Amino acid sequence: MKFKKTMLAALVVISVLALSCFQAACAAPTITLSLYKDNGYGMGNDMNGEWTLNAAVSQDVTRVEFYFDGHLVENDTSAPFSWNFDTFNYSAGLHLFEAKAYNAAGESALEQISRNFVPFPLDFIVGIIVLVIVTLVIALVGALIRAKRLGVKIGRRTQKPKPEEATVTKQKEEKEN
């Protein structure tokens, strides 16, 4: 009786292990998307410039297809799986990124994200430049006002003493010593 219970327990353990190994081998691939800013602008859901769409996948993935607004744009067959793009090549507005990961068994996983392409923020950059210039002018005016209060002469040339004044000044210094 004890032998039968031991055999039954061993059979259950082996079955559970085999089932878990089978499920792991047959599990569908996984995928997670992320965006990397190569050279551009990004704030919240808005983006502009050169970017890379990266796909972090499970180890069993053999290829990843990248779609942009429903159109296949890249079929990457080697890790790391990614697609480089420039928003300048597409219209402004909301766009859908999709990536589909495949394993050797043909199973797949799909991940989607959407982002809003915005034009180059020229107004923002011009605003920053104007702000910097105004700040520098205010700082310069403040420094000039403080210098005037302290009696510092700024921007005026001092005249060189005439030769006879230099001799008199030198003689006074010699007498004092």
The angle subtended at Cα 19 by Cα 16 and Cα 20, nearest 5°, is 85
pLDDT of residue 21: 47
* 48 and 67 part of one domain: yes
Reported as a single tens digit per residue, the pLDDT across 49-98 is 999 999 999 999 999 999 999 999 999 999 999 999 999 999 999 999 99
Q: Residue 18: is its pLDDT beyond 60? A: no
Q: Is residue 20 in a domain? A: no
Q: Is residue 18 in a domain? A: no
* Domain coverage including residue 142: 122-171
* 95 and 128 part of one domain: no
Q: Residue 131: is its pLDDT beyond 80? A: yes
Reported as a single tens digit per residue, the pLDDT across 98-123 is 999 999 999 999 999 999 999 876 77
* 102 and 163 part of one domain: no
Q: Is the pTM of this model over 0.85?
A: no
Reported as a single tens digit per residue, the pLDDT across 151-165 is 877 765 666 666 666
Q: Residue 28: is its pLDDT beyond 70? A: yes
Annotate 110-166 with three-state secondary structure.
EEEEEEEECCCCHHHHHHHHHHHHHHHHHHHHHHHHHHHHHCCCCCCCCCCCCHHHH
Q: Is residue 167 in a domain? A: yes
* 107 and 65 part of one domain: yes
pLDDT of residue 156: 58
CATH number, position 62: 2.60.40.10
Number of domains observed in the structure of the chain = 2
Q: Are 66 and 53 in contact (CB under 8 A)?
A: yes
